[in-house]
Structure 1
Amino acid sequence: MTVERPGRTAWIDAGAGIAGDMLLGALLDAGADPGAVRRQVAAVVPDEVEIEVGTVWRARLRATRAVVRSTAEEHPHRSWADIRRLLGGSTLPQPVRDATLAVFGLLADAEARVHGVPVDDVGFHEVGAWDSITDVVGACAAAADLGLTEIVAGPVALGSGRVRTEHGDLPVPVPAVLELSAGWPVSAGGEGELATPTGMALLRGLAGRSGPMPAMTVDRAGYGAGGRDVEGRPNVVRVVLGAPDRSPAAPATEELVVLDTNVDDMDPRVWPGVLRELLDRGAADAWLTPILMKKGRPAHTLHVLARPDLAGTLRAFVLRATSTLGVRQTTVTRHALDRTWTQVAVESAPIRIKLGVEDGRIVHAAPEYEDVAALAADRDLPVRQVLEAAVAAAAAAGLHPGTPAPAG
């Protein structure tokens, strides 16, 4: 059996602010492979950028700085719709692609609200520039390379004063950062622009919740530097990595929201794309229920499960993407098993096995369907046959309910 690196917990300390290059530098400083990050960035914007990684000091504290430099004579103007197509056609691993789409979706929605334009038309430097694409893809790739399965972030310092932008002289925090800060604990924290739109979108897209450092056995910490060296205050983002506390505990509990709406007048061929886009934008789950409405009309109820901070963004998307005139919202409590991943070999190819774990023991073990479908297509085999082989391989590897979960 081939086992992936065990799941890790990360805590992001943004008490000095956050920017995309700072978070990328912190993740690299914490042990992410620069070569893997560069390859995945090149899969999206080939021959456009290079990433230089070096050591710097900020207020006498050592840190890693990731500097993104252009290697192209000119870069195309890209809207959010262009970036979605760019990512969809790339060879990024699915988890990295999903995380990148979620981060850019948050950023595009915030910029669209600020500027009063349709979200697909958003096309200015915060979303479309090569350096923002590099920061977002790079940070998502670094998080995946580190095997992070839980990310928590603390309060964010936004800064104060004013800053010069391509839209003119703006107050700090700039409007897009304020949009992305909704529902998250923040403070001024100092003079100047301490949090950028890209940095806030990465934090909101990658971190599942805000809070103090979670219980963990600390592995190491990484420090990522910004471009400024501020006297008396290290201008860095800190990332603390560790093994999650595996002491016996009840399934994790969190407050989520469910968005519901009934639709009886929409072409059913549209639904698969709507569900896929909701997941890309950060929904925890999205599904349809067939119903019978008044006057005997067949219809569907769309259900969207999401974190409360994403409710506004997802609700706005549902109102744009479907023919509904209104959306209901309900607060729910979810009790979830710990989840981790391991691999088995089928036809000499790796297939991920998702494990539901409680008190360190397996409750459920299931093959990842996307891996099964990809292998079936590659070897011209029935999906059913590959799925059965993956289940048998998991059983042969000892991945049974009640047995200890693999530790690495």
Structure 2
Amino acid sequence: MKTLYLDPFAGISGDMFLGLLLDLGVSIATLEEALAALPVSGWRLRAQPERRQGIAGTRLLVETEESHHHRTWQDIDKMLAAAGLPPETAALARRIFRRIGAAEAKIHGIALEEVHFHEVGALDSIVDIVGAAAGLLALGVDQVICAPLPLSQGFVRCAHGNFPLPAPATLEILRGAPVMDGRCEFELVTPTGAAIAAEVARFGALPPMRVLRSGYGVGTRQLADRPNLLRGILGESCADGGDRDQVEVLETHLDDSNPEWLGALMEDLLAAGALDVAYLPLQMKKNRPGVGVRVIAAPKDGATLAERLLRACSAIGVRRQVAERFKLEREAAEVETPLGPAAVKLLRRDGKLLRVSAEYESCRRLAQASGRPLPEVYRLVERAADDFFRDRE
């Protein structure tokens, strides 16, 4: 698995991320070709090698002729949707802008549709975000992992006045993400950089991998205590007996919920993107029987699902923790049986088939159509699949 690991020891911004992509081998022509699809003009990219405290990297300069801008989130979203960008590039850029827009809406207490971008609506920011989406896809990585982001203290001047650091939008964008004290009075993580990291990466430690190359995106400011660089490590994940990733585990305990509500809650959470939902019997205080709710979520969905839990049941608190998940390799397949075709999952480890698992919905349909008991259909499907696929491994 080709992995990009982001090491933001001096933070992350849109131009630092673009510089890093170029330093890792993405051509500036690739970015320019994607950006040419935008219905805007007056921009130019210029890449140059620079050093920060003796370490060489690539600095990308976005030069624009724009002196004034007035763009809403809707303006930018519609522009990206209609721009003729490659579908994956457009979708990723729109998600990044939506993440920023949602944060601005929350901070200012307005609807997303009412958000007017100032700094992020400027042409150079549009170029940063669309270029980041195009460049990352051109790099061809399977996953991006990011170390905790360093946040600053102090103030930054923006269109609304002097904002405290970290900027409110940055904090909102990073809700649920691991951060650390950057011990710096200058802005290390910009809203654009935070949104890129939060949208494209999962946060975690450097995984076992074979290093292919490293690169550095150069930031504008000269920092006294560290080189102002965004480091990226490109590598191939080492085989460790299976795939692995990170999930968020959300938990809450209930002793006053109607069971009918819990049935609807499970369906609602799964429909909203939960990977799994389970109810556990509990004996709670005051001798009350209770229910433990456990939700497994992708890191990007953890905060949303925690909020949904608080609103959709009687929970007054939700615990969140990040857990590493080891997974078998899974492949969907179909097998012919005497009752008709049936869907199965092939489960492998290091490419070797370990077992075949029948899919419930497929077996249920065969059981209803044939009048046979469901356990008998399961055995029939798994036996047919085992004979068919093991002969071909």
TM-score by length of 1: 0.65
User: Does 1:54 pair with 2:41?
Assistant: no
- In structure 2, C-alpha distance between the alignment counterparts of 1:402 and 1:305, rounded to whole Å: 36
Query: Retained in 2: the 8 A contact 1:8–1:150?
Result: yes
Deviation at 1:219, TM superposition (A): 0.7
Aligned length: 308
Match of 2:228 among 230, 235, 252: 235
- In structure 1, C-alpha distance between the alignment counterparts of 2:85 and 2:121, rounded to whole Å: 18
Aligned partner of 1:196 in structure 2 is 190
Query: Retained in 2: the 8 A contact 1:12–1:154?
Result: yes
- In structure 2, C-alpha distance between the alignment counterparts of 1:361 and 1:224, rounded to whole Å: 40
Structure 1 residues 35 and 179: CA distance shift in structure 2, 3 A = same
- In structure 2, C-alpha distance between the alignment counterparts of 1:401 and 1:125, rounded to whole Å: 60
Bigger relative contact order (CA 8 A; separation at least 6) = 1
Deviation at 1:91, TM superposition (A): 2.4
Aligned partner of 1:39 in structure 2 is 33
Structure 1 residues 130 and 114: CA distance shift in structure 2, 3 A = same
Aligned partner of 2:87 in structure 1 is 94
Structure 1 residues 311 and 56: CA distance shift in structure 2, 3 A = same
User: Does 1:28 pair with 2:22?
Assistant: yes
- In structure 2, C-alpha distance between the alignment counterparts of 1:356 and 1:34, rounded to whole Å: 41
- In structure 2, C-alpha distance between the alignment counterparts of 1:40 and 1:240, rounded to whole Å: 24
Structure 1 residues 187 and 73: CA distance shift in structure 2, 3 A = closer
Aligned partner of 1:255 in structure 2 is 247
Q: Secondary structure at the match of 1:50?
A: strand
- In structure 2, C-alpha distance between the alignment counterparts of 1:70 and 1:401, rounded to whole Å: 61
Aligned partner of 2:129 in structure 1 is 136
Query: Retained in 2: the 8 A contact 1:65–1:225?
Result: yes
- In structure 2, C-alpha distance between the alignment counterparts of 1:100 and 1:284, rounded to whole Å: 24
Structure 1 residues 79 and 233: CA distance shift in structure 2, 3 A = same
Deviation at 1:40, TM superposition (A): 1.1
Unpaired runs of 5+ residues, structure 1, are 1-6, 264-274, 287-303, 320-324, 341-354, 364-399
Aligned partner of 2:111 in structure 1 is 118
User: Does 1:181 pair with 2:178?
Assistant: no
> Which of 1 and 2 has greater Rg?
2
Structure 1 residues 326 and 242: CA distance shift in structure 2, 3 A = same
Q: Secondary structure at the match of 1:64?
A: strand
- In structure 2, C-alpha distance between the alignment counterparts of 1:135 and 1:50, rounded to whole Å: 12
- In structure 2, C-alpha distance between the alignment counterparts of 1:48 and 1:59, rounded to whole Å: 33
Query: Retained in 2: the 8 A contact 1:155–1:187?
Result: no
Query: Retained in 1: the 8 A contact 2:119–2:158?
Result: no
User: Does 1:307 pair with 2:298?
Assistant: yes
Query: Retained in 2: the 8 A contact 1:59–1:232?
Result: no
Matches for 1:2-401 after TM superposition, within 5 Å: 7-71=1-65, 75=69, 77-183=70-176, 184-208=178-202, 210-249=203-242, 251-252=243-244, 254-256=246-248, 306-313=297-304, 326=312, 336=327, 358-360=349-351
Deviation at 1:15, TM superposition (A): 1.4
- In structure 2, C-alpha distance between the alignment counterparts of 1:153 and 1:255, rounded to whole Å: 15
Query: Retained in 1: the 8 A contact 2:173–2:194?
Result: yes
Structure 1 residues 108 and 356: CA distance shift in structure 2, 3 A = farther
**Identity of matched residues, %:** 35
Query: Retained in 1: the 8 A contact 2:248–2:302?
Result: no
